[in-house]
Amino acid sequence: MNKTIKVVIGIAILCAVAVAGYYGYNAGKEEEVAKNELFAMDTHMVFTVYGENGDEIIADSMDEVVNLENQLSTNIASSQVGKINSEGQGILKKDGAILMEKSILLNKQTDGLFNPAIYPVVEAWGFTKEEYRVPSQSELDALLPITKIQDVNYDKSTGQVTFNKEGMAIDFGAIAKGYTSSKVIKMFKDAGVKSAIINLGGNVQTLGTKPNGEKWRVGIQHPEISDGYLGIIDIEDKAVITSGGYERFFEEGGKKYHHIIDPRTGSPAESGIESATIVADDGTLADGLSTSLFIMGKEKAIKFWRNSDLDFQFILYTKDGKLLVSEGIADDFTSDTAPIEIIKKK
């Protein structure tokens, strides 16, 4: 995971710094840049803001990230989610309530592949405590009936969550970082920032352009080449969020097991996709869909995109070494590591 971060940050930040210098030269004054780092949500995060008061603006946003983690983490017993999971019921407030609503919607939109109730299965594989093991199929078959979203009762007006079955649990891990990056970018915007880039463990979101008006250049981690990247995407005002089987996994008996679970089987998704990147305005949507398209596999993902009125573009890297790039970002994406097939809407 650290390598992912280094590469992407390397590119994003190097460019940002280089460009700031260039801008300064042209404009006759150096554009102010503030930068800070934080380890939260099990992720190395880097915040870069151009313009005045950047240090304070970043400090406020880092406080908010910690606040979000304390509300939403499954690993923090006192969080809203931690309490609901240990007590079998509870209340979701503010950000927790927003994430629940988004998760239920995404579950519907993806025919159940995005599933915030999959947590008991994620736990059985040991991903929650890094005590990895391969559960037997009978163990998984016994757990799958307690992962159905229809058995999660959520009352929108009160935020009350109850479960129909014992042992059920919820987890917003597949959208929390995208939600966080969107929220931070919104805070930057509200504080008057015009140019910023944040990197939450390889998931990048940008505000505006680089100070000189050029697009940000964001590198996407190559799943097989450490310190190498699949390609570079040029963006402004967008989130670029990747899900990959290489990010969190363990090996047993010569086989790799990763942390993105196919809710139909209870096992790590084997869809023929190595990594799924989503580019969208909305970080929460991008995070939710990167996990979902990874599970769908190539054909289903393309069909989903073609039929969906959700506003997003994708970069899929397949197990046979090909890049599938949706036409809306094809002109802004380059790769010198793999052949690109452009996918058209129709």
Q: By CB under 5 A, name the binding residues for Mg ion.
A: 174, 243, 287, 290-291
Q: Which is nearer to ligand ADP, 289 or 302 (CB)?
A: 289
Minimum CB–partner distance for residue 172 and Mg ion (Å): 10
Which residues ranging from 229 to 258 are in contact with ligand ADP (CB under 6 A)?
243, 247-248
Q: Which residues contact 190 (CB under 8 A, 6 or more apart)?
A: none
Q: Which is nearer to ligand ADP, 22 or 249 (CB)?
A: 249
Q: Which is nearer to ligand ADP, 122 or 191 (CB)?
A: 122
* 132 binds ligand ADP per the rule CB under 6 A: no
Q: Is residue 268 within 8 Å of residue 257, measured between CB atoms?
A: yes
Q: Which is nearer to Mg ion, 195 or 291 (CB)?
A: 291
Paired residues of 314 in beta bridges: 278
- Residue with the CB atom nearest Mg ion in the bound state: 291
How far is it, in rounded angstroms, from Cα 232 to Cα 218? Answer: 5
CB atoms within 10 A of CB 296: 25
How far is it, in rounded angstroms, from Cα 208 to Cα 267? Answer: 40
Conformational region of residue 237, where left means phi above 0, alpha means psi within -120 to 50, and beta covers everything else: left
DSSP at 331: G
Which residues ranging from 262 to 321 are in contact with ligand ADP (CB under 6 A)?
263, 287, 290-291, 295
Sign, Cα dihedral of 171, 176, 178, 179: positive
Residue 218: name its binding partner from ligand ADP, Mg ion, none (Cβ under 5 to 8 Å by kind).
Answer: none
* 44 binds ligand ADP per the rule CB under 6 A: no
Question: Which residue ranges make up the site for ligand ADP (CB under 6 A)?
Answer: 113-116, 118, 122, 127, 171, 173-174, 177, 243, 247-248, 259-261, 263, 287, 290-291, 295
